[in-house]
Amino acid sequence: MSASTSPSAAPHVYRLRTGYGDTDQSGVIHHAVYMRYLEDARADYLRQRGLDFAALEHGQRIGMAVARATMRFLRPARFDDLLDIEVRVETQRATMLFDYRVLCGDVLLLEAQLTLACIDLEKMRAIRLPPEVALACRP
C-alpha cells in the first residue's frame, strides 16, 4: 500500500437543501455556514466508505483536526437552493486533503480545500493515518 493516494477520479457528491436559518440579513447563505456544509459532505464521504470516526475517536483515541482551510466564494447560495457538494480526497502520511466544489445546478458557487491532520487525542500530536483510513480513501 502506498503512503499516499492521488485524488479520487470521480467525485463523491453530497446533496443538500439550504435552510432559512442559514441565511444572513441580505438573504444569502452566510459564509460561515459553508464550513458546516463541507463538514457534512466530508462525514458523508467517509461514512459511504465504511469509516466510523466515532469509533476511532472513542476506541483508538484518534482524531482529525482541520489544519488548513481555504475557500473561494464565487456566487451566493440562497434559501431553499439545492446544492451539490463534490468531494475529492487525497491522503498523505498524516493528513487528508479534501477538495470541494459547491454547485447549484450547473453554477459553481464555491471552491474549497481543507487539510485534516490525524492526531493522537491523548498527546495532541500528529500521527500517521490508520491504514484502514488511507485504504478506504483510495480511488
Residue of 24, 40, 52, 120 marked catalytic:
24
- Give me 82's grid cell: 439545492
Q: How far is CA 54 from CA 51, 60, 61, 85, 99, in A?
A: 9, 10, 9, 23, 23
84 is catalytic: no
Q: How far is CA 98 from CA 12, 19, 20, 43, 108, in A?
A: 11, 24, 27, 12, 17
Phi/psi for 92 (5° steps) reads -130, -170
Cα of 51 vs its chain's centroid, Å: 14
Active-site positions read 24
